[in-house]
Amino acid sequence: MNRAFVRTITQSLTAHKVRTFLTLLGMIVSVMAIVVVVTIGEGVARYVSDQVGSFGAQSVQVEVKVPSTDQLSNSNYTNQALGVQITTLTLDDAAAIAKLPGVATTAVGLITQQKTRFAGKSTHALILGTTAQQPQVDRNVKIARGAFFAPVDDVAHAQVAVLGSAIKEELFGPFADAVGKRIKIGRNRYRVVGVLQERGAMFGFSWDDVIYLPVTTVQKKLMGVDYVQYITVRAADDADPQTVADDITALLRIRHDTHGPDDDFGVATIREAQDTMDGVLKSVNILLLLLASISLLVGGVGIMNVMLVAVQERVREIGLRRALGARAWDIRVQFLAEAVVIALIGALIGIVLGVALVFGATVAAHSRGMDVPMTLSATGPLIGIGFAVIAGVVFGYYPALRAARTSPIEALRQ
């Protein structure tokens, strides 16, 4: 591309600045959307994979499930959100699972919410009833002060509590020692036996706002129930998690007298959960990318309209160039190049704005305790530039063809 050619394109684009800007706008928005969707999508996928994987490759999750639905399906979660309660998973089930070959240890879970008070300060805390094996099953549960409660506390329905770091700070402040103090949860007082290390958030849920109590205490003194909501199993290091999951399924079908579709429980390995989440996120990202690409159609139509107007305005210029020896091919290439340059300029501006938006989204996520790894990769910008070039060529071809077919004699007459 020689200097005269570049100069001609530059003069054409700068002759009508407002019109050129409006043409760029559609391309800017579409490419910006593509960069944001691709980058955030990749970051969220890595974040979800890391968070789910943090429980360990040997983890197997057993949860209550609405019969005739899949464990990780929307219908299962929707039914439970609408108030369908499954109360058939019990501590006896957990004890039976613990005896299976390949099972290293188990912990149960029962979640509720209670008003928690200490010395005039109060907060609504998430209460997680579990067993003393929780730190062995979930190795992200780490003690900063004191200790986790003991197995005897499960048996005795003991009123002891282990505080998340945020709850401890909210009730006691950053410097006071909470261990040994008594807090009020609901109508009863509980002795604080431990405080956890800061853990952070997962999917917007803060682990530091949780209070751990013995599950039997939650069952008998807070909720008045005899069931649990889930059982977390850690397979032995030399065991295959999928084999352990299959054995758990067979055992619970015997205990619950169910046969596949009417199971009131679901069993999933961490690998299955990761694969399911990856599939969902990929589908969502593809959908968002398609929606963002639709705006490229709008931007492309804008380029075509502007180029058609430019052809009409520059008929005399085309005639003069043809009279001086320019070929139809030269005219076509010039107008096609102008369309592609407009698309590329819009793409570059869109990439810059997209990077700025990704940075803002990263800061916002971190402020909410979500350490989402928003690393800008080349994928988003390359897709944006590629789509922009395609749009420039596709939507610039007809105006370029029309310019090339302009009769030199008729053009000079005008």
What is the pLDDT averaged over residues 56-60? 81
Nearest to 185 by CA among 210, 222, 229: 222
DSSP, res 261: T
Instruction: Give the pLDDT of residue 164.
Output: 93
Tell me the sheet residues that pair with 112.
127
pTM over 0.75: no
Q: Is 169 exposed, middle or buried (0-12, 13-18, 19+ CB in 10 A)?
A: middle
Instruction: Give the pLDDT of residue 383.
Output: 82
Nearest to 391 by CA among 352, 342, 335: 342
In tens, the pLDDT along 265-306 reads: 989 887 777 777 677 777 777 777 777 677 777 778 878 887
User: Is residue 230 scored above 80 in pLDDT?
Assistant: yes
Q: If you search the block for the tokens 């055992």, which residue do you land on?
A: 251
Tell me the sheet residues that pair with 218.
none
Chain centroid to CA 70: how far?
21
Q: Is 248 exposed, middle or buried (0-12, 13-18, 19+ CB in 10 A)?
A: buried
